[in-house]
A and B are shown apart, each in its own frame.
Chain A
Amino acid sequence: MNIIVCVKQVPSTNEVRLDPETHTIIRDGRQSVINPFDTYGLEEAVQIKERLGGRVTVLSMGIPATERLLRDAMSRGADQGVLLTDKAFAGADTLATSYALSLGVKQIGEYDLIICGKMAVDGDTAQIGPELAETLGLPHIADVKKILSVDETSLTCIKLTDNGEQELQVPLPALITVLKDINMPRLPSITGVEFSLTAPFHSFSADQLAADTSRTGLNGSPTQVVRTFTPERGGEAQEITGSLDEQAAEILNLIKG
């Protein structure tokens, strides 16, 4: 069972601070972690590998420093890391990112299952999983909360829906995106950390992937950012004053509308 786990480098959530003057996020671009949702995808892949054998590959598109995070993933059970890094990938929206990742998947070769986190916590789009699946011509199941059974030919799982749950079966290869309640990610083991230092790591440029650069990076991105701005706060919050009983009564008034 060969599994590919897509991971994204995101700003460390603990490092995110607000500028008190402008209320914008202070991003220094230097502190980063694996997107939390992707760590659940990695854990799920490693658990499947431990049962069925095979290989887990972590795949990312990003700056060269992303290697550190891929090695971290290898200390938690992944067997190899693949990084797509090139100036030609910069400025990609979800469509261009999906295209680049699809080339990475083809480069990795044989696979049965692709796992993505539900979404990245910096972009919040949840689009990469479905777009990557479609680009590869694969079926996808989003928001998986539990895998009931899996072998080389098919996967049965429970998907969380807007109104409850669906139990679904899909032939492999396929792509799933996972929720955070699917498992509890492990910490790196000592042998894992040792392994990660020398574990197989491959980095590919756009050229090496034979990428069509009209489909990568900024050129391959149909969407563009017009502007970013700080949302209007609508003024200072109004203080509810008085005794506790009066404050409670005022809250209940607001609730009743």
Chain B
Amino acid sequence: MSGLVIDKQKCIGCGLCAGACPASALTMVDDVAQVDQAACVLCGICVDSCPEGAIAIVKESQGNTADYHGVWLFAEQNQGRALPVAFELTAKGRQLADELSTSLTVLLAGGPGIAGEAQALIAAGADRVLVGEDPKLAVNLEENYAAWLDQVVTEGKPEILLFGATGFGRSLAPKLAARWQTGLTADCTVLEIDKQSGLLYQTRPAFGGNLMATIYTPSHRPQMATVRPGVMPYPVLDETRRGEILACPFPQDFSPLVRLLQERQIQAETIADAELIIAVGRGIGNAKNVALARQLAEKLGAALGCTRPLVDTGWCEYKHQVGQTGCAVAPRIYLALGISGAIQHLAGIAGAQTIIAVNSDPEAPIFAQAQYKIVGDCLDVLKALLAQV
């Protein structure tokens, strides 16, 4: 049956679930949790609260999945070049395809000349690259891309289909998931094949990055996910690898409703793919000190990041905001000056390789996430850094 299921053998009668339930649907009967299915809203809070893993939300399976084969991914381009995330996904896709003993197909679309990127994707691990080369695909517009992808994916029936979790990928993939009526998991940071079922296990940070959720799509195809850029390792290209390159024309009878009037490419100034970020929080004290941090960032060739309160007070512009309502970043080094580590901020730095945190409060939550810490005045440290660069 579908619904909330309690494993009576595992339940230890602690009552945590009943206390956590916002719908008052759980009661303790003879020291075993019991659910009122009519009252339960399936929010899953009790599943998280159970220390024994005795509660689960289950669903009857349905659908036909046997006709779908192969791992496919969408290689996003900008101005005729495949993005780094396309190569990261290709390396990951190779690994998944090998585990499933199947092939890896990369979908490459763009304006005239985009086919020139195909060989590099083969060198990164693709067995086959399907190329859509058309002036209508020169600029990343959802309707045109969806028309082309719909055609090739419906024809090819992949079991897995991955997108980069860029702004474009996160707008395009859900449009297609709804068209194909299948599941889509957003902004994944880990992808694995479950050995038993052969299904794609997609892990993503849930609320604030303090909880990870592993999600799967058991009975709909393709299993779709968007994957956060900068998290999967970039591959070493093997120029001797051979693969197939196939042209797949754009459907000529298609005309989009959304019309592009103008595009402005603004170089740099995006902190999303910065290697090194100097970030400041309220502990920095005042706007004048933010200028010092900006100075340090410039000298080190780093990007400046900040927390939300600094944007709200006008000390920093929104484009610098890191976190849940700002930008998710994945730098090699994240230097956090005077940032306490609100969970909304921590959510945005889950992809950082090394976090160095400076804060005067030894209990600041940022220290739990950091690899290196200094308990002290961030302004002193900032000035000492400026003196040395």
Contact = CB atoms under 8 A, between A and B. Distances in A.
A223 interface: yes
A184 to B, nearest CB: 11
Contact of B171 (A132, A143, A174): A143
Nearest to A155: B258
Given A224-B216, A245-B388, A94 B184 contact: yes
A156 interface: yes
B369 interface: yes
Interface string B54-97: 00010100000000000000000011000000000000000000
B167 A161 contact: yes
Interface stretch (A26-34, A52-60, A107-115, A201-209): A26-34
A164 B263 contact: yes
Interface in B267-302: 270, 272, 276, 300, 302
A183 interface: no
B20 A27 contact: yes
B359 to A, nearest CB: 11
Contact of B385 (A95, A133, A229, A252): A252
Interface stretch (A69-77, A188-196, A236-244): A236-244
Contact of A222 (B20, B167, B183): B183
A125 interface: yes
Interface stretch (B124-132, B204-212, B240-248): B204-212
A180 B318 contact: yes
Contacts of B177: 94-95, 127, 131
Contacts of A169: 258-259, 261
A121 B343 CA distance: 11
A122 B207 contact: yes
A223 B335 contact: no
Contacts, number: 287
B257 A133 contact: no
Contact of A252 (B256, B332, B388): B388
Given A124-B186, A228-B47, A223 B167 contact: no
B383 to A, nearest CB: 8
A255 B210 contact: no
- What is the interface residue range for chain A against chain B? 35 or more
A244 B217 CA distance: 52
B168 A161 contact: yes
Given A36-B325, A170-B257, A223-B215, A239 B374 contact: yes
A121 B325 contact: yes
Contacts of B263: 161, 164-167
Interface stretch (B37-45, B103-111, B113-121, B153-161): B37-45
B333 A255 contact: yes
A131 B22 contact: no
A165 B211 CA distance: 33
Given A124-B324, A224-B59, A231 B212 contact: yes
Interface residues of B, number: 108
Given A18-B343, A163-B78, A247 B374 contact: yes
A128 to B, nearest CB: 8
Interface in B163-178: 166-168, 170-178
A135 interface: yes
A18 B58 CA distance: 27
B375 interface: yes
Given A228-B206, A237-B371, A247-B384, A139 B266 contact: no
B365 interface: yes
B215 A139 contact: no
Contacts of A255: 276, 300, 302, 333, 335
A32 B283 CA distance: 28
B174 A131 contact: yes
Interface string B195-238: 00000010001111111111111111000000000000000000
A66 to B, nearest CB: 11
Contacts of A133: 175, 178
Nearest to A134: B178
B257 A87 contact: no
Given A36-B325, A63-B41, A24 B186 contact: no
B381 interface: yes
Contacts of A247: 374, 376, 381, 384
Contact of A24 (B140, B176, B211, B219): B211
Contacts of B186: 94, 123-127
A210 interface: no
A50 B332 CA distance: 48
A197 interface: no
Contacts of B178: 95, 98, 130-135
Contacts of B133: none
Contacts of A164: 263-266
Given A122-B207, A124-B205, 5 more contacts: A90-B42, A171-B257, A222-B219, A240-B372, A247-B374
19 contacts: A16-B208, A24-B211, A25-B207, A123-B206, A127-B170, A127-B186, A139-B256, A142-B170, A161-B140, A162-B168, A164-B264, A169-B259, A222-B183, A223-B216, A225-B47, A225-B57, A227-B213, A228-B206, A230-B210
